[in-house]
């Protein structure tokens, strides 16, 4: 299943970057955004994950986030997340850039994690920007409120919103300097994340995609590993002996 080229490059590399999307948490039981199971009630992610939807109907958007929080809090990282935690120990330089907001990479043990779309368990005041890591906030009209009286929102990045400049800079730097870049469980359509693998490839990285189906990235990948990441990654870690150096 894995080419000798990939095994050799992984054994020799010092610097590896991994970009993950919803597919890596699918085997933990977290629904992905797109495709059949991506619908919540009758809504698509694009209709709810934007600031206009929040201002028009904060109750609906909060209901969606509370529903997703409850799923995430009842689930755990899967073998794919743990395989990445092992890989981090093997390499001098190992960065996980994740579009996921579930916190599972840190929970699995990865330390260098760039959560570019935020974290669903945090909330943020729309007025004073105070961050709430847990729940001791006041509810008013069934909506969470900051101590300043402002409305709280999930601390995530919605469509049309800018990503953290610092995280973007770190992501591009990592993509530009790595030797192997993995794009895992993402549909590769949401920008700017979808551009990281392209940047890595243009800077000479060996580009590997892991997904259950092909994506717009597949045609430029050096290697496309089709299948469930929870099965493929642990097998790759074992085959390439990435457990101890």
Q: Which residues of this protein are in contact with ligand BJW, per CB under 6 A?
A: 21-23, 26-27, 32-34, 38, 45, 49, 99, 101, 117, 156-162, 185-187, 189-192, 210-213, 215, 228-229
- The interface partner of residue 148, options being Zn ion, ligand BJW, none and the CB cut-off 5 to 8 Å by kind, is Zn ion
Assess 125 for contact with Zn ion (CB under 5 A). Answer: yes
Cα 200 from Cα 66, distance rounded (Å):
36
| CB nearer to ligand BJW: pick between 99 and 110 | 99
Per CB under 5 A, the list member of 148, 220, 226, 243 interacting with Zn ion is 148
Assess 127 for contact with Zn ion (CB under 5 A). Answer: yes
Annotated active-site residue in 59, 105, 117, 129? 117
| CB nearer to ligand BJW: pick between 174 and 190 | 190
- The interface partner of residue 19, options being ligand BJW, Zn ion, none and the CB cut-off 5 to 8 Å by kind, is none
Assess 131 for contact with Zn ion (CB under 5 A). Answer: no
Backbone φ/ψ region at 184: left (φ over 0), alpha (ψ -120 to 50), beta: beta
Provide, rounded to whole angstroms, the least separation between the CB of residue 197 and ligand BJW.
12
Query: Is the Cβ–Cβ distance between 190 and 26 less than 8 Å?
Result: no
- The interface partner of residue 144, options being Zn ion, ligand BJW, none and the CB cut-off 5 to 8 Å by kind, is none
Residue 129 a catalytic site member: no
| CB nearer to Zn ion: pick between 129 and 169 | 129
Assess 152 for contact with Zn ion (CB under 5 A). Answer: no
Provide, rounded to whole angstroms, the least separation between the CB of residue 150 and Zn ion.
4
Cα 68 from Cα 41, distance rounded (Å):
13
Cα 162 from Cα 126, distance rounded (Å):
15
DSSP code for 139: E
Cα 50 from Cα 158, distance rounded (Å):
5
- The interface partner of residue 150, options being ligand BJW, Zn ion, none and the CB cut-off 5 to 8 Å by kind, is Zn ion
Provide, rounded to whole angstroms, the least separation between the CB of residue 127 and Zn ion.
5
| Active site members | 117
Q: Which residues bind Zn ion (CB under 5 A)?
A: 125, 127-128, 130, 146, 148, 150
């Amino acid at each position: 299943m894995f080419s000798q080229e990939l095994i050799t490059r992984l054994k020799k590399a010092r610097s590896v970057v991994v970009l993950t999307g919803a597919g890596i948490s699918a085997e933990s039981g977290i629904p992905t955004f797109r495709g059949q199971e991506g619908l919540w009630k009758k809504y698509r992610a694009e209709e709810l994950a934007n600031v206009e939807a929040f201002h028009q109907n904060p109750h609906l958007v909060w209901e969606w986030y509370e529903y997703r929080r409850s799923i995430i809090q009842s689930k755990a990282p899967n073998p794919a997340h743990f395989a990445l935690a092992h890989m981090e120990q093997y390499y001098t330089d190992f960065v996980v850039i994740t579009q996921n907001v579930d916190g599972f990479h840190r929970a699995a043990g990865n330390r260098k994690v760039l959560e570019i779309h935020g974290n669903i368990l945090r909330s943020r005041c729309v007025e004073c920007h105070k961050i709430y890591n847990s729940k001791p906030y006041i509810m008013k009209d069934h909506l969470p409120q900051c101590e300043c009286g402002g409305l709280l929102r999930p601390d995530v990045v919605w469509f049309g919103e800018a990503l953290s400049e610092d995280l973007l800079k770190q992501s591009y730097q990592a993509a530009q300097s790595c030797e192997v870049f993995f794009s895992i469980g993402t549909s590769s359509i949401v920008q700017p994340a979808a551009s990281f693998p392209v940047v890595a490839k243009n800077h000479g990285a060996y580009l590997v995609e892991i997904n259950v189906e092909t994506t717009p990235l597949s045609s430029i990948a050096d290697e496309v590993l089709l299948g469930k990441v929870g099965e493929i990654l642990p097998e790759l870690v074992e085959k390439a002996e990435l457990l101890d150096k």
